[in-house]
Structure 1
């Protein structure tokens, strides 16, 4: 009798591994490496795991796919190769215990073997002969604290980085999506280099490391992550340097700075920060010898380090002998800077799509909202101030050269109607003035009285803005709920419970688009997805060849809001263009926002303000989009074709669908299977909007979609069941009344009231005594009748 899979492992595979010197400490059995994609209702998709992970010298070397003894040993080969590619592991084995097939991802070839290689053999095959220092760096263990340990992709990123650094490469790039823990990865890299005493001159000392950010909030977040190394950390900032008589700190090993604090001032207004109060900033970095640091880590390195003419580059050029490690979610390659040209190709990449599918990032929905003022046609009676130089104004020009206050109010009202009152929301606006106008418009229509329900967070707010941001990030606080901003919040905002990202400003840059989408991807308990609300067509960038990520879905909804009334508020939002404390408040102020602010100040003098007369502004449509197999959003017709193909796997005719749907157990199983295929219940509910069947059952929509059946309403189904012979068989009026009660529940709330475990709740809600009710059904069992009623409803 052949062994089962579990017996094959115990009696055949394990002894052979032991024979090849693999100890229990080197073997991880059933290694789960993903969390499973987040699904609606707090559920998860399938988690990936391998039967055996072989680890030696803190390095993942091989994985084994185990099959039962009577199975073909090659049955699991392709799957295990796929897993190895994801885990960046070079050797895989597929076995039924009797036969062992080895495949090398290095050579792309494989063959049957008699015995597993020993740990030392496999380690040598991967790395060759290593120098003592090189091996010490590569095999150094990770830092573990409590239950927190690096996720599989974080382990890979760290391992690839330290291997590259140990091999004396001077430029290293890691590209990981926003929310995947780049700062934690940086800490693990530093910890391993620190513990193994890696340094550029290969002496017996711990390295000196500089971690550069472009905002104090990012620097603070990084220092918090490095807390286990607290005694070795040094904060470089202008205020402390001034207190030290202008001398930079040198005692310590891991130094943190924002480049504005230590760079030479080429353009004070651009790079001002809270550390400096004067117009001239000394290039503090020049006080350090050029070989002082062994490693420099540049956070958000796409922002400036790749630019040949930037303060970042001046610092990096000074410390050119150090290894430079760049971290970014969005490398860029354009006229202003080429991340790849400076750092080379990434040694590891982990995309937003990977993070969502693996369950480490939150999926998203998209609402594309169109209004009847997405384009303005010239009317001389509308203009309050300024002059138009063209007859048609497009979305790209709104809030820059042309301001239409009514439109801002329309967007604000629509935003509030499309979010839950206390869902954390970030609204990205064209500029700081627009962000203030949007805040005031939200205040106009909000139902929450708190004055800080919606706040503007831009560089002009200074310390107050940072306080608002910290409270917004605090998941225990509801207020502030909505932030309006322009460029400032595109990066560095670690707010886990953001439920809505609203786009009211056109976005031309894929880098900026990905950063903005990343504001909502962080996971949080109870957060199954977040919603992108797009008023400006920015989500067209999903179709750009540079985008390789997949939205969860796009909401199906066609909606019209009440017309914006003609009575208008006349609030004047006066913003002082020459703030005296400008240089004291801009620690969060980066180059992108300065550029936007400069354009904004110039545009203020040229803006045309328009008060549209004789036309009521309204939302005319929320466009329907879903996700295709290639990760691109599909239009309604394309999505329906895809859905028909999926549904065809579960039923071939209307009667089979009816049999499935009219049985609560089978109905639940169907919905679960669809959910595993990323078609959740909310999407099916949204289908009713496409077919104008809001008061119908999902069953009717599916039957219409699959077999072109007429769509009935729930009212029609409930009335038909009520008037059928099904009820006539009951002699007791109480039984009839209870059936009518169930039908009324179904009519109002749909099939969710007919779930298998809902009967007891319905009895309790009906107000009938349980025993008396059961007796009233006579020879019929109430549970059986509950199931039979559902067959009658869908007859």
Structure 2
């Protein structure tokens, strides 16, 4: 009798692996490396795993695909190669217990072999002959605390960085989507270098490492992540330096600073000859400098970051960024070179480590203003027509701000954590007061502004917002301060009310919602300014695109649009001294004229309405071929529930189906009618029309018992008011209670008993959809 796959593994494959010197501690069976894409209702999509992962000296060296002994050993080879490419593993083995096939991803070909290579042989194939020092550096273990250990892509990022540093590479770049744990990766890199006593001069000491951020909130979060190395951590800031009589701290190994604190001495900031505090450190003081959010100017020749990096030129410079190569961050890639590892937003969502999203594009009838002499205008307009980009910067229309605030509240659950990105600090304050005007939650701190002008108060509000055990504050308004790195896991809505021209900034902002949180199936992007046009670009998927060269004029305009001066905690300051024009509109009702909802496909790019409908039609075709097939499913509560559950598994939930009603202006209709219209181009009927048809059919009149008729009419009224959810398989008892016509048994007696009442409940639904 042939062995099953399970028996083949234990009786044939395991002994051969161990014969080649692989210990039990080197073998990981059924290594799951993804969590499965998040689906509606707290469910997960398929998780990917390999049958065997072979590890040695804390490095992943090979995977084995196991087949039952009766199967072809090459079955599953391509899938295993795909997994190995994702895991950055060089060798794949497929076997049925009798034959072993080895494929080398380095050479791109394979062959049948007699025995598995030994651990030492495979390690040497991967790394060649290394010095004991280099081997020590690349084989030191990760820091593991309880169940907290690096995810597969974090392991790869750390290992590749360690290997690059061990090979004496001077500049290293990692590109990973926001929310994937770049600071945790930085900690693991520092920890392993620390344990192996790596340093630039190969002496017997632990390295000196500088973690450089561009705002205090990011620096503070990073220090928390580095907590296991707390005794060796030192903070550098103005207060500490002043306490030390103007001298920078030098005792310690891991230093944390924002570049503003290092760049300029306060005593000299108005002098022509400015001396940065960083110059107090010898140029070879640091062995490694980690530059967080390095796309924010560290590589620009004129930036303060660049001055600091140039001074510490002997250190390894490790850049961390969330954005692939673009025209607006090309100098970053020029400085660091191509990233040694990339992990995109698309990958993070599909693997289940980031939260999917949907996009609501909201248009109003005041996205452009045309001069009207009836309006009250304070100040002077340069032009008769004011475009979207000018709002809040040059022109303020308070009623428009109020319309947007009201619309935000209408499109969110009251206690959903929400960040509203505004044009500048004044706009953020105006938006906060507008939210206060229309909110239903009375708490004074329900909506707060978090910008640099708020100082410590703003930072306290941000900490409260980040605390997942607190409901208040629920809404933050901000300008630039929250665009990068702020770790708030339960953000349900990201609202864009400021035009964005930079792909880099756009991705950073969207990253505020991607972090995974229990019970958070997706987050919503509300876009009032058309910023989500920036989704439709290959770089969103993390591809390393060659930037398009722009003219000097274009570059100048981009800088003007996006580079407002920033304070030390990163919030854009509104330094403009020009008087703004304020317009009080008279005689025109401001309103929302369109809300278009788009959904994210498996490739990570939002689907426009027509694309989404095309996808939906293709999916629905798997469940029914004609209207009769759809009707048969929908008119039976059990079948209807099964269909909705299957659609959920394919990332199509009821909220999306309900949104289709808006698209087809069918809010008073049933989802059934929208589906029938999409699939078969049938006219959409309202629920009232369906109820009217039942009331004038023979269905009700066939019941001679007046109480039975009354109950059926009650059910129809509930359906007309609240829709198909009232007709669930488990709703009959609740409907009896709500009707006030007696107990379940009493009402059922009017139909001849409980089974007969249940049958009529099902028959009524057939009649509704007839």
**Alignment equivalent of 2:435, drawn from 415, 434, 442:** 442
Q: SS of the counterpart of 2:72?
A: coil
TM-score (norm. length: structure 2):
0.90
Q: Cα RMSD between the aligned structures?
A: 2.9
**After the TM superposition, which residues 68-467 of structure 1 pair with which residues of structure 2 at under 5 Å, given as runs?**
68-264=68-264, 283-330=276-323, 334=327, 338-382=331-375, 384-467=377-460
Which residue number in structure 1 is paired with residue 569 of structure 2?
588
In the alignment, what sits opposite 1:580?
Answer: none
SS of corresponding position for 2:103:
strand
In structure 1, what is the Cα distance between the partners aligned to 2:447 and 2:380?
33
Change (3 A) 1:104 1:402: same
Q: Please, which runs of 5 or more residues in structure 1 have no aligned partner?
A: 271-277, 551-582
Relative to 1, partners in 2 of residues 1:333 and 1:748: Cα closer, same or farther, differing over 3 Å?
closer
CA displacement 1:20-45 (0-9 Å, x = unmatched): 22222222222221112222222222
For the residues of structure 2 that align with 1:21 and 1:718, how far apart are their CA atoms?
75
Which residues of 2 match residues 727-766 of structure 1 at below 5 A?
Answer: 742-759=715-732, 761-762=734-735
The answer on 1:666 being equivalent to 2:647 is: no
2:542 & 2:671 partners in 1: Cα distance?
29
1:305-353 per-position Cα deviation (integer Å, ceiling 9, x unaligned) = 1111122112111111111111111256557861111111111111112
Matched, 1:694 2:667: yes
CA spacing shift, 1:730–1:116, aligned 2, 3 Å: farther
Q: Distance in 1 between matches of 2:420 and 2:401?
A: 12
SS in 2 for 1:102: strand
Whether the 8 Å CA contact 1:332–1:511 is kept in 2: the answer is no
TM-score using structure 1 length: 0.87
Equivalence for 1:558: none
Corresponding residue of 2:561: none
User: What is aligned with 1:647?
Assistant: 620
Contact 2:599-2:608 at 8 Å conserved across structures: yes
Separation in 1 of the partners of 2:700 and 2:370? 62
The alignment partner of 2:309 has SS state of: helix
SS at match of 1:470: helix
Counterpart in the other structure of 1:555: none
Of the structure 1 ranges 444-453 and 763-772, higher mean CA displacement relative to structure 2 is found in 763-772
Q: CA deviation at 1:213?
A: 1.2
- Paired residue secondary structure (2:465): helix
Residue 174 of structure 1 deviates from its aligned partner by 0.9
Distance in 1 of aligned mates of 2:207 and 2:470: 41
Count residues in correspondence.
747
In 2, the alpha carbon distance for the partners of 1:383 and 1:760 equals 59
Q: Residues 792, 9 of structure 1: CA spacing in aligned structure 2 closer, same or farther, 3 A cutoff?
A: farther
The change in CA–CA distance for 1:444 and 1:761 in structure 2 (over 3 A counts) is closer
Aligned 8 A contact 1:306 1:337 in 2: no
Question: Does the CA contact (< 8 Å) of 1:94 and 1:101 recur in 2?
Answer: yes
SS in 1 for 2:516: coil
1:520 alignment partner, SS class: coil
Bigger mean CA offset, 753-762 vs 342-351: 753-762
Contact conserved, 1:296 with 1:324, CA < 8 A, in 2? yes
Contact 1:307 1:336 in 2 (8 A): no
Q: Which moved more, 1:129-138 or 1:65-74?
A: 65-74
Residue 706 of structure 1: aligned partner: 679
Q: 1:546 aligns with which of 524, 539, 550?
A: 539
Task: Evaluate the alpha carbon distance shift between residue 279 and residue 769 of structure 1 in structure 2; reply closer, same or farther with a 3 A threshold.
Answer: farther
Give SS of 1:369's match. Answer: strand
Indicate the SS of the match to 1:502. strand
**Counterpart contact for 1:396–1:506, Cα < 8 Å:** yes
CA distance in 2 between counterparts of 1:116 and 1:669 reads 48
Rate the CA distance shift 1:123–1:45 in 2: closer, same or farther, 3 A.
same
CA contact 1:549–1:631 (8 Å) conserved in 2: no
* 2-structure distance, mates of 1:3, 1:731: 67
8 Å Cα contact 1:293/1:319 also seen in 2: yes
Alpha-carbon offset, residue 724 of structure 1: 5.8
Question: Are the aligned partners of 2:212 and 2:292 in contact in 1 as well (CA < 8 Å)?
Answer: yes
Structure 1 residues 729 and 383: alpha-carbon distance in aligned structure 2, compared to 1, 3 A threshold: closer
Task: Please give the per-residue CA displacement for 1:691-740, whole angstroms capped at 9, x wherever unaligned.
Answer: 33223222222222212234333344455556666667778766666555
User: How far off its partner does 1:540 sit?
Assistant: 1.0
CA 1:27–1:719: 2 relative to 1, 3 Å? farther
Say yes or no: does 1:493 pair with 2:486. Answer: yes
1:791: how far off? Answer: 3.9
* Change over 3 Å in CA distance of 1:776–1:21 after alignment to 2: farther
2:324/2:542 contact within 8 Å kept: no
Distance 1:390 1:158 in 2: 55
Question: Taking structure 1 as reference, are residues 506 and 14 closer, same or farther at Cα in structure 2, changes over 3 Å only?
Answer: same
1:40 alignment counterpart = 40
Distance in 2 of aligned mates of 1:130 and 1:144: 26
Question: What are the superposed Cα offsets for residues 90-122 of structure 1, whole Å, 9 maximum, x if unpaired?
Answer: 222233333333222212212333332222222
Change in Cα spacing, 1:439 to 1:724, as seen in structure 2 (3 Å) is same
Alignment correspondent of 1:564: none
CA-to-partner distance for each residue in 1:44-70, whole Å, 9 max, x for gaps?
Answer: 222222222222211111222223333
Give 3-state SS (helix, strand or coil) of 2:247's partner.
coil
Q: Give the unaligned 5+ runs of structure 2.
A: 544-564
> Structure 1 residues 249 and 331, CA, compared in 2 at 3 Å: closer, same or farther?
farther
Shift of 1:149: 1.1
Post-superposition CA distance 1:754-789 (Å, at most 9, x none)? 444445555665665455566665474665555555
Question: Contact 1:462–1:586 (CA<8 Å) still a contact in 2?
Answer: no
